Structure 1
Amino acid sequence: MSVWEGIGRVVKVAEGEAVTTETEAVEESGAVEESGDTDAPDRPPARSRRRRFLLGGVTVVLVLAGAGLLVKAQELRSTPAAANHALTDTEATTRVNGDVSSALAKIFSYTPDGTGATGRSARELLGGRAARQYTQLFAQVRERVTEQRVTLTTQSVRSGVVSLDGDSAQVLVFLDQTARRGDHKPVTSAAQLSVTARLRGDHWQIVDIKAR
């Protein structure tokens, strides 16, 4: 039962009690008039006293319920789901997906005569641990690419932002890669990467890459 449903039930019960006490108060008033007792001390009518008591009780319930709502709202705002803007900020999520997918396609695509352009793209699009990893890997691959005339084409086929909090994002990306060595038949394979990205100026830079 929600907080609002609980309040509704309390108010309905209170309204029912108010009707009952008003009827009893009328009966008590009639009994006093019939007895002709004029020596009773002056005091507020029973109906008025009970109504004030009832109103005070309902007020307390509403105040407590309101406090409960405030606490619940604070809990919701502090949960990881509330901080994850991938669930609410469509524009930012689309931008992260686009930047990360484009960056992966550039750094994992090269031709025998175009490794220099690939290296320049990596220096711009990668940072942190990802940049160090890529530099080491590409240094090992670069010579073989030229000698064996290897061409690699990478395309992002699907990506999803797992979390987005301020300038940090976690993205899951599925890639299709096609490699051709010289005149040999091209070979296609799939890859799945978990990517950490950071917002740098007006674009998202990849700072960590893990194969899944």
Structure 2
Amino acid sequence: MSTVEDAAETDSATADEVRHGDDPAPAAGAASRSGRRGLITLLVCAVVLTLAGSGLLVRAHQLSASPAASNDALTDTEATTRVIGDVSSALGKVLSYTPQDTDVTAQAARELLAGRAARQYAALFGQVGARAKAQHLTLTTQVVRAAVTRLTDRDARLLVFLDQVAQRKGKPAGAVPAQLSVSAELRSGGWLITDITAR
């Protein structure tokens, strides 16, 4: 009788162990699943970090390649001041004349203008010089404000506001404001005006 009871108790204990999860096989399976979840989490994190890093690299390239990043007018005050000074001085010389010194103005234009600006000036100044002598016309040009909108180590673009005072012999002087877009190039250590457009 005791043998039957002992067998029954052994079966009952085995059933309790199974119910309470004391079997080592399920514990090993759970550890395996937990390890797989950890590996998947690591892979997902790696992919997310790689994508985020790529996105940041692309954005950094866009910022460094943008026009603002290559515009020294925003950062180099010395170069900005110099180009404003050179262009303002050149405009004052090539857009000012008296009936007696049109040759001096033409010579200044040959030294301070280049490219399209030089060609335009050469085409127009012959007529202007003749008119200045015939009408005893004096024109004085002064830059009142200039701003550099774009600047590199080779070229610049400026917005220039100037006042021009014209006077004919025996008549009162008349002042006229003007606004120009000016392009300039750095050549042989100085800024030459390459394009002038009235705005």
* TM interval, short-chain normalised: 0.7 to 0.9
* Distance 1:141-1:39 versus aligned 2 partners, 3 A rule: closer
Aligned to 1:55: 42
2:156 aligned with 1:174, yes or no? no
Give the one of 93, 97, 103 matched to 2:90.
Answer: 103
Query: How far does the alpha carbon of each residue in 1:77-117 deviate from its partner, in whole angstroms, 9 at most, with x for none?
Result: 23333333333333332222221111111111122322222
**Which stretch has the larger CA shift, 81-90 or 116-125?**
81-90
Query: Equivalent residue of 2:24, what SS?
Result: coil
Q: Taking every aligned residue pair, what percent have the same amino acid on both sides?
A: 53
C-alpha distance in structure 2 between counterparts of 1:119 and 1:158, whole Å: 24
Letter in 1 for 2:24: T
Mind listing any 5+ residue stretches in structure 1 that lack a counterpart?
Answer: 1-30
- RMSD over equivalenced CA pairs, Å: 2.6
CA displacement at 1:41 relative to structure 2: 7.7
Aligned with 1:35 (options 15, 18, 21): 21
Q: 1:44 to 1:135 in 2, by over 3 A?
A: same
In structure 2, the CA distance between the partners of 1:44 and 1:91, relative to structure 1 (3 Å rule), is farther
- Give the partner amino acid of 1:67: S
Question: Cα distance 1:187–1:43, how it changes in 2: closer, same or farther (>3 A)?
Answer: same
Q: Answer with 1 or 2: which has the greater Rg.
A: 2
Q: When the two structures are superposed, what TM-score results if normalisation uses the length of structure 1?
A: 0.74
Distance 1:35 1:44 in 2: 11
The equivalent residue for 1:211 is: 198
Give the corresponding residue for 2:65.
78
Alignment match, 1:157: 144
